[in-house]
Chain A
Amino acid sequence: MAKAHKYDRDHINTDEIIPARYLNTDDEQELAKHCMEDLDAEFVKKCQAGDIIVAGEDFGCGSSREHAVWAIRGANVSTVIAKSFARIFYRNAIDNGFYIIETPDVDKISDGDEIEVDFENGLIKNVTSGKDINFEPLPDFAREIINNGGLLEHIKKATTD
């Protein structure tokens, strides 16, 4: 079971997820210390392993920095649920084998709710409220990349098969 950290806002951007002043490193653990810092300075302290970020439209807009995905993953966040994602963030997440969920029903999740995610069947169970959310699983090619452990492993597999 994971706790939802809900940011009831659209356009949460890469400068908020990992400010550029920390881009002088690509060390995931170092980046994780500053995850979401300019949006919520307490985030890293309150985030437990497996927790989930919940947000509105256009999550991850702005820079192409993959550091945004690494900071979130490094902070032990298991997935991000948002109404929509910015294009490059979406692609970076898949490339890293990091599953993200797009659903218009994020309003059914409140900050602090305990939730369970069934990625295969496209189901979010909100244990706190009892409200379930069905979501469209990622397209097949994206799931294949994720299941292969990210784009580079996927390419390696394709060239050695």
Chain B
Amino acid sequence: MGSTITEKILAKAAGKETVKAGQLVDAEIDVIMCHDVTTPPAISMLEDKKIDTVFDTEKIVVTPDHFQPAKDIQSAALHKRLDKWARKHNIRYYYKIGQAGVCHALLPEQGHIRPGEVIVGGDSHTCTYGAFGAFSTGIGSTDLAAAIATGKLWFKVPESMKFVLNGSLGKGVYSKDVILEAIRLIGTDGALYKAMEFTGPALADMSMEARMTITNMAIEAGGKNGIMGFDDITKEYLDGRLKGKTDYEVFESDADAEYCRTIEIDCSKLEPMVAMPHLPSNGVPISKCAGKDMDQAYIGSCTNGRIEDLRIAADILKGKKVAIRTLIVPATPTIWKMAKDEGLFDIFYDAGCVISAPTCGACLGGFMGVLAEGEKCVSTTNRNFVGRMGHPKSEVYLTSPATAAASAIEGKLADPRSYL
């Protein structure tokens, strides 16, 4: 019996020939992602326990993002703690405001994600990096503290579920629609504790940006990690971009690797999807929900705040006016500048959108666009739980950037295909 890509990466990290699903392993960590919400508590724990050490100053990447720029005095204090710690330990890759961005857009863009490595981060959407053929998973503050101090963590090797993405995406249908369909099929705990491995011909047509949207939402099905194989598109994205260590090892699943379940999705048959409140698994095709009134549109986040997403939205908004409050949140300063240089900001401005600095902001109900009681938001983010973007009685409808842009123009859920 062969091994999956996830098993192979964990075996290498644990210094073993092979490992199998269910086995507990101690794995060496290659990259640790630290942000402003979960890292300050980890720092305090390390200080309290008098083990305030850093295992490797070059393997930790720090960026404030959730509440940056500081939204209030308390979040400013979190940033201050993070800043003091990063300076004290001479963390090599510390992105301060001006360079800081939404972590899961920033780390790949800045060349910190390499195939075949083990990456952890104090954020559930750390599974994003699996798009590069890495094992990547989210952890809490205590695990983060342990990883920072020791460079190791224990893992139970997950079983793998295989998602075969067949066919090709039609006009107006994007990778976001694919992952919303996958989560609809298996539910928000359908991949609990499992690796979600994506493969198939539809993937070959997707950019790294589009692929990251898929692995980003593995956690919304309960997955431990999302993962994809390496190909020319991965290589092209990485060439000339990697910081520090530029070599990497590529792993792929064996033909006889074991999967607990295989799910086939015919991407040619997909429509634009909308995940209705209050679960990411409540996906319905746009044809069944178009026309529902919205109060706000939000285009951004670690799921869909990359340059390709902004280009897709701008393409639809060009020459149009939005009917509802519409927020554009480029995920990193580089994306912000690209959007400006490409003239996308003019399109957004002319359409009546507001453009924000890079931040996680309102995706998690932090600031920069939170919702009042009863308000509805069409959003390119990843979660639509009760109270996620504001008042517990507000509602979030998850879509692709194209669907969010079309809905912004009409002020109600709308099919982007009529704008393309």
Contacts and interface: CB of A to CB of B under 8 A. Distances in A.
B359 to A, nearest CB: 13
B398 to A, nearest CB: 14
A58 interface: yes
Given A20-B365, A156-B49, A86 B189 contact: yes
Contacts of B138: 64, 88
B400 to A, nearest CB: 21
A94 to B, nearest CB: 9
A51 interface: no
A87 B71 contact: no
A84 interface: yes
Nearest to B194: A87
A24 B78 contact: yes
Nearest to B367: A21
Chain B interface, DSSP helix/strand/loop, else mixed: loop
A33 interface: no
B41 A66 contact: yes
B142 A15 contact: no
A64 B219 CA distance: 10
Interface residues of B, number: 50
Interface string B175-205: 0000000000000110011000000000000
Which of B37, B41, B142 has the most chain A CB within a 10 Å cutoff?
B142
B189 A155 contact: no
B383 interface: yes
Interface string A122-161: 0000000000000000000100000000111101100000
Interface in B10-48: 24, 37-38, 40-41, 44-46
A47 interface: no
Interface string B217-235: 0010010100000000000
Interface in B117-149: 122-124, 126, 138-143, 145-146, 149
A87 B222 contact: yes
Which of B38, B67, B149, B224 has the most chain A CB within a 10 Å cutoff?
B38
Given A24-B78, A87-B192, A19 B142 contact: no
Contact of A66 (B49, B141, B188, B219): B141
A11 B219 CA distance: 13
B157 to A, nearest CB: 13
Contact of A155 (B24, B74, B146): B146
A67 B37 CA distance: 10
A21 B365 contact: yes
A96 B123 contact: no
A64 B383 CA distance: 13
A11 B188 contact: yes
Nearest to B155: A91
A91 B75 CA distance: 26
A64 B279 contact: no
A105 interface: no
A74 B408 CA distance: 42
Contact of A96 (B49, B142, B154): B142
A57 B366 contact: no
Nearest to B72: A24
A79 interface: no
Contacts of A24: 67, 71-72, 74-75, 78
A11 B140 contact: no
A49 interface: no
Interface stretch (B250-258, B303-311, B384-392): B384-392
B29 to A, nearest CB: 14
Nearest to A23: B37
B112 interface: no
Interface of B: 24, 37-38, 40-41, 44-46, 49, 51, 66-67, 71-72, 74-75, 78, 122-124, 126, 138-143, 145-146, 149-150, 154, 188-189, 192-193, 219, 222, 224, 279, 364-366, 370, 383, 385-388, 392
Q: Give 8 closest A-B pairs by Cβ, nearest first.
A: A66-B140, A95-B142, A92-B140, A24-B74, A20-B364, A58-B189, A38-B387, A26-B41
Interface of A: 10-11, 13, 15-16, 19-21, 23-26, 37-39, 57-58, 61-67, 69, 84, 86-88, 91-92, 95-96, 141, 150-153, 155-156
15 contacts: A19-B365, A19-B392, A20-B364, A26-B78, A26-B141, A61-B188, A62-B385, A64-B122, A64-B124, A66-B140, A87-B193, A152-B45, A152-B146, A153-B49, A155-B146
